[in-house]
Every structure is written in C-alpha cells, then in structure tokens.
C-alpha cells in the first residue's frame, strides 16, 4: 500500500496533471446577449479546471465551481431599448455603431472603470495568467493588461468589427462587407464605394474611442499608462464569433480564431412548463418562436405592428412562443390564445425542439447560429447594428427572408410565413448548412480553450503576430511603394517622350539646315 502511494506521488511529481490557470474576463458592455457567449466560454474554462473571475453586469444565479462573478451591475443602465428609441437613435447600422461606441465608451469608462468594484480589482493581490476582454466600447479596460503585465485576448460576439482586424488581419473592403454595412460578399460598384467609406469611418470611430479612453484610463491608472491604442493593439489573439458556413469566408492571420457558435451546448433539458407548451400533440401543426433578443423590447412594437402579428397568428393552427413581457403590451389588444409569452427563453433548446418550424427574430448573430444549428428557417426583422448584415447573409444563403420593421403588415407577414413554412427550399437549405456548421475538426469551445491555453503557455504567443500590425497604414497597403513606382514610371515615360520630341526637333532643324545648305549650293 505504502509503495503504491509513493508510486502515485512520484507519478504526480514527474507527470503533473494539466496546468490550471487564473483567467480574468472583462465584459463591461451592458448587453445581455453579448455576455451569453462570453459566459459560455468562461464556464467552459472553469469546467476544464481553470479558475475564472468574470466581470460583467450579469452575474450567475448559481455560478459553477471555480467561476467567480465580479458584478458591476448598476454602474450603467443595461441596454434595453424600446422600438421608439431604436428608431430615433439607432436608425441605421452606422448611426447605431456610432451611438453605441462613442456614447457607451464614455459611460463604460467613466462609470464602470471608475467604480469601486474595478478599483478593488485593480489593487487585487491575486495573480492572473491572462485577461480576456470584449472589444466593443471597452478598450479602456486594456489598461489592466498593462497593470498586471499579462497577455490579453480580445473577443467579440459578432462577426469581426473593423477594429477586430487590428491584429493585421486582411480587411479588404472590395469583398469583405463591413460590420455596419448590410451587404452580401458580392458588391456592385456603389456598394463597394459605400463599403470602403464605412471601412474608413469605422477606423475613425475606433480612434475617437481611444481618445476618450486615454483620458479616463490615465486618471484611473496613472499618467504613465501607455496610450490605449498601443495597449489595445498589443492583443495576443482575437476570438471571433463567426464561421464560414453562415458568414462569408475570409482570409485570416494566425491569431484570428473563428469560434462561431461556441455558446451552443448540444443537449439541455427544457423547463417543464415550456416542454408542455412545445408538446402540441395533434392540436397544432407546429410551433413558431418569436424573439427580438435581449436588447429590443418587442412589447414596445407599435400598436398596428402588434395587431398585425396577432391577426396573422390568430388565423394559424400553430402554437406561438413569443419572448416579451405580456404585461407591458397595450391592454386593449385582442391577444389570441395560441400565443404563449415568456420573458426569457432557453432559446436554443426551444429552437431545437422537433416541433419548432420557424424562428421570427431580429437577426442577432447568436440567434441566427442557433436557428442554423437546429435547422429552423428564419424570418428576420432587423433592428440595428449588425443585424441587417447577418440577415442579408441568411437571405443570400436561402435560410430565410427579411421584412423591415416599417414594412410589417398583415399581408407581408402572412406571405412570408406561408413561403417559409411551406416552401421546402428554406428548410432543406438550413438543414444542409446545419451539417456544415457542425462539421468542424473540433467543437468551437475546444478550439477557443486550446488557443487560450496556448497564449498562456507561450507568454503572449508573439510568434503568432503578423508583422503588418506594426506598420503605419500607408506602408501596410504599400501606398508608398505604389506612389514611388508611379512617379518613377511617369518620369521615365515623360523623359522618354521629351527626349524623342527633342530629338525630333533637333533632327528637323538639322534637316532644314541641310536643305538650306543644299539650296545654297544648288543656287551657286
């Protein structure tokens, strides 16, 4: 027995178990849906044995082992908009990105970075091995990487925002639609023009957020703090929530890692009451799920839009599950009995229920991934930010259709529902894509965890860094070379032409002189 114990002790000494790290997640952006992905990742890391501290506005009710919440709830309002606010302030993708970025960068940096929770974290005695930061209006938090002197990984819950390419990733606007542009990959001249302008504008927005961040972060971390742009560009790796099956295929540098649909867990049990709603028996032909995500409050849809939906649903033999607060709907509207309201849905598990035939959604990327994963066609009603881009892609791929909010009428909704429910094209396509999305060498969660551990093992893994990051933009795009070549080329062409015309002139003068001389001789 004693020998065995000694043997095991020796074994552990010489073959240590996996190393466990301390990882800090900084997710101060106040949108629940973003955090869905980040929490899934942090839970995945905790399950692997790492100890994670997660700063966000959305602490867990029951955090799993080794998962520790740092709640900053109450420091800034949660993004939670009425349709009126969206139409007034977030009209198009550019407007919403500008609003969310500049407005929220300022409030996140002043209110969250300057909160007592964050001050406490700043002075912690804990030694972390790595920081993971969401890269949306939160760049002032890169100051922590400098303060703790540890590597940092950027993460985004959307397809890459322009500044997600700050690791030197190719971002050619001729075929890669910008995050704020509702284009598919194939663009005509005008679209490419607009896409290029969007590319330049988002670069400007990024710079603007860094100017604000610098001021506030230095106040908090001291005047010696390097510029936020320097720190933010020192990121080791980017984890991006896209995948070529439902987003466009694109070139990527070695530290641009696509982990699309990472938040999806294969099987979870549904709450009992939802299971009952979904088990429709022979009463209905199927279930339609409607959700506008965590930010848009669909109960604030205008009266006529709600009425249109209610009228359409009333005439259908389908069970509807609608994510909304029923109490806040106009009281005098006649809500048909086949609509079941829920304030928050375990959305993927609902969508993957075999009775669900259609998903009506705002086009948030996580919901789109869940619909594809579960093989359910999509009717998209884009609201702001990247939603139109995501939905445009799903329309191009024949996964579903788009109706703009302004165009929601009984007639349009009925037509769309009939097509999506009864034209097999959509169902077949979405099932085909579902297979492609699931056909990956490793599950996206494992891919993400592998690269996170890799960055820690190799102390920031600077071998992954593309050298282009450190070049100024005109060198990065070889503009200096192109201009020099153009100048040289025109100089050569120009001087050759000059030489020829000068030679031509000299020759003609010579010829004239010779002729004159001959004339004189002839005259004699």
Query: Considering beta carbons, is residue 226 or 346 the nearer one to ligand NAG?
Result: 226
Would you say 386 and 414 are in contact if contact means Cβ atoms under 8 Å apart?
A: no
Query: Considering beta carbons, is residue 230 or 503 the nearer one to ligand NAG?
Result: 230
* 441/75 Cα distance (integer angstroms): 41
Q: Which residue, 329, 327, 336, 430, is CA-closest to 378?
A: 430
Query: Mapping DSSP to helix (H, G, I), strand (E, B) and coil, where does residue 201 land?
Result: helix
Query: Considering beta carbons, is residue 296 or 376 the nearer one to ligand NAG?
Result: 296
Q: Which stretch binds ligand NAG (CB under 6 A): 226-234, 262-270, 348-356, 418-426?
A: 226-234
- What single string gives the DSSP state of each residue in 117-180? HHHHHHT-----SEEEEE-SS-GGGGHHHHHHT--EEEEESSSPPGGGGTTT----TTTS--TT
Query: Considering beta carbons, is residue 234 or 241 the nearer one to ligand NAG?
Result: 234
Select the residue interacting with ligand NAG from 110, 261, 300, 429 (CB under 6 A): 110
- What's the min distance (Å) between Cβ of 359 and ligand NAG? 21
Q: Is 176 in the site for ligand NAG (CB under 6 A)?
A: no
* 429/436 Cα distance (integer angstroms): 11
Site for ligand NAG, residues 111 to 150, rule: CB under 6 A: 114, 146
Q: Is 444 in the site for ligand NAG (CB under 6 A)?
A: no
Q: Is 151 in the site for ligand NAG (CB under 6 A)?
A: yes
Q: Which stretch binds ligand NAG (CB under 6 A): 8-16, 229-237, 244-252, 482-490?
A: 229-237
List, in sequence order, every residue forming a beta bridge with 155; answer none if it has no partner.
134, 239
- What's the min distance (Å) between Cβ of 195 and ligand NAG? 32
- Read off φ and ψ for residue 174, nearest 5 degrees: -75, -25
Q: Which stretch binds ligand NAG (CB under 6 A): 198-206, 225-233, 274-282, 374-382?
A: 225-233
By CB neighbour count within 10 A (0-12 exposed, 13-18 middle, 19+ buried), where does 351 fall?
A: buried
For residue 322, CA distances in Å to 291, 359, 404, 513 come to 6, 10, 19, 98
Select the residue interacting with ligand NAG from 153, 167, 231, 437 (CB under 6 A): 231
- What's the min distance (Å) between Cβ of 146 and ligand NAG? 5
- What's the min distance (Å) between Cβ of 502 and ligand NAG? 57
By CB neighbour count within 10 A (0-12 exposed, 13-18 middle, 19+ buried), where does 270 fall?
A: middle
Number of residues interacting with ligand NAG: please give it, by CB under 6 A. 13
Site for ligand NAG, residues 66 to 85, rule: CB under 6 A: 78, 80
Q: Is 184 in the site for ligand NAG (CB under 6 A)?
A: no
Query: Considering beta carbons, is residue 146 or 318 the nearer one to ligand NAG?
Result: 146
- What's the min distance (Å) between Cβ of 430 and ligand NAG? 30
Would you say 410 and 308 are in contact if contact means Cβ atoms under 8 Å apart?
A: yes
Query: Considering beta carbons, is residue 292 or 372 the nearer one to ligand NAG?
Result: 292
Q: Is 234 in the site for ligand NAG (CB under 6 A)?
A: yes
Q: Is 295 in the site for ligand NAG (CB under 6 A)?
A: no
Shortest-Cβ-distance residue relative to ligand NAG = 460
Q: Which stretch binds ligand NAG (CB under 6 A): 59-67, 179-187, 223-231, 264-272?
A: 223-231
Select the residue interacting with ligand NAG from 199, 417, 460, 464 (CB under 6 A): 460
Query: Mapping DSSP to helix (H, G, I), strand (E, B) and coil, where does residue 52 land?
Result: strand
Helices then strands, each counted (H, E), the chain: 19, 13
Would you say 142 and 227 are in contact if contact means Cβ atoms under 8 Å apart?
A: no
Query: Considering beta carbons, is residue 119 or 517 the nearer one to ligand NAG?
Result: 119
Select the residue interacting with ligand NAG from 230, 479, 502, 506 (CB under 6 A): 230
- Read off φ and ψ for residue 434, nearest 5 degrees: -60, -40
Select the residue interacting with ligand NAG from 47, 106, 191, 219 (CB under 6 A): 219
- Read off φ and ψ for residue 425, nearest 5 degrees: -50, -45
- What single string gives the DSSP state of each residue in 275-331? HHHH--TTS-SEEEEEE-TTTB-GGGS-HHHHHHHHHHHHTSSEEEEEES-GGGS-T
Q: Is 216 in the site for ligand NAG (CB under 6 A)?
A: yes
* 431/521 Cα distance (integer angstroms): 98
Would you say 284 and 318 are in contact if contact means Cβ atoms under 8 Å apart?
A: yes
| Residue ranges in contact with ligand NAG by CB under 6 A | 78, 80, 110, 114, 146, 151, 216, 219, 226, 230-231, 234, 460
């Amino acid at each position: 027995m004693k020998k065995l114990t000694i043997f095991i002790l020796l074994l552990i000494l010489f073959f240590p178990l996996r190393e466990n790290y301390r990882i800090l997640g900084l997710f101060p952006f106040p949108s629940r849906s973003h955090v869905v992905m980040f929490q899934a990742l942090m839970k995945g890391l905790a399950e692997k044995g790492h100890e994670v501290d997660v700063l966000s506005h959305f602490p867990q009710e029951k955090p799993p082992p080794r998962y520790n919440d740092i709640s900053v709830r109450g420091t800034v309002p949660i993004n939670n908009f009425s349709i009126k606010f969206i139409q007034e302030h977030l009209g198009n993708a550019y407007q919403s990105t500008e609003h969310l970025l500049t407005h929220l960068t300022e409030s996140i940096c002043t209110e969250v970075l300057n909160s007592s929770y964050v001050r406490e974290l700043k002075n912690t005695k804990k030694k972390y091995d790595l920081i993971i930061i969401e890269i949306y209006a939160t760049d002032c938090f890169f100051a922590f990487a400098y303060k703790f002197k540890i590597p940092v990984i950027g993460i985004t819950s959307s397809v890459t925002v322009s500044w997600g390419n700050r690791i030197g990733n190719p971002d050619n606007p001729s075929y890669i639609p910008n995050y704020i542009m509702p284009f598919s990959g194939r663009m005509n001249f005008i679209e490419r023009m607009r896409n290029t302008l969007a590319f330049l504008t988002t670069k400007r927005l990024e710079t603007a957020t860094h100017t604000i961040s610098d001021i506030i972060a230095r106040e908090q971390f001291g005047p010696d703090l390097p510029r936020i742009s320097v720190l933010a560009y020192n990121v080791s790796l980017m984890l991006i929530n896209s995948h070529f099956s439902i987003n466009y295929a694109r070139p990527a540098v070695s530290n641009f890692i696509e982990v699309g649909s990472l938040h999806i867990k294969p099987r979870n049990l549904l709450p009992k009451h939802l299971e009952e709603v979904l088990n429709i028996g022979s009463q209905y032909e199927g279930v339609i799920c409607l959700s506008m995500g965590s930010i848009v409050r669909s109960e604030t849809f205008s009266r006529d839009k709600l009425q249109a939906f209610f009228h359409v649903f009333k005439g259908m033999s389908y069970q509807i599950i609608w994510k909304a607060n029923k109490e806040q709907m106009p009281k005098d509207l006649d809500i048909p009995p086949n609509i079941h309201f829920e304030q928050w849905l375990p959305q993927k598990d609902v969508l993957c229920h075999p009775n669900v035939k259609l998903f009506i959604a705002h086009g948030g990327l996580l919901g789109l991934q869940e619909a594809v994963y579960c093989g359910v066609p999509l009717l998209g009603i884009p609201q702001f930010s990247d939603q139109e881009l995501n939905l445009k892609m799903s329309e191009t791929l024949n996964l579903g259709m788009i109706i703009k909010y302004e165009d929601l009428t009984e007639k349009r909704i009925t037509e769309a529902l009939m097509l999506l429910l009864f034209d097999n094209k959509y169902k077949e396509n979405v099932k085909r894509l579902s297979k492609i999305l699931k056909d990956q060498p490793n599950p996206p969660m494992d891919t993400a965890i592998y690269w996170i551990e890799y960055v820690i093992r190799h102390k920031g893994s600077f071998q992954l860094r593309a050298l282009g990051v450190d070049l100024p933009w005109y060198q990065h795009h070889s503009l200096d070379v192109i201009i020099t070549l153009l100048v040289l080329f025109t100089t050569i062409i120009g001087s050759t032409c000059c030489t020829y015309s000068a030679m031509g002139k000299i020759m003609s003068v010579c010829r004239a002189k010779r002729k004159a001389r001959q004339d004189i001789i002839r005259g004699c």
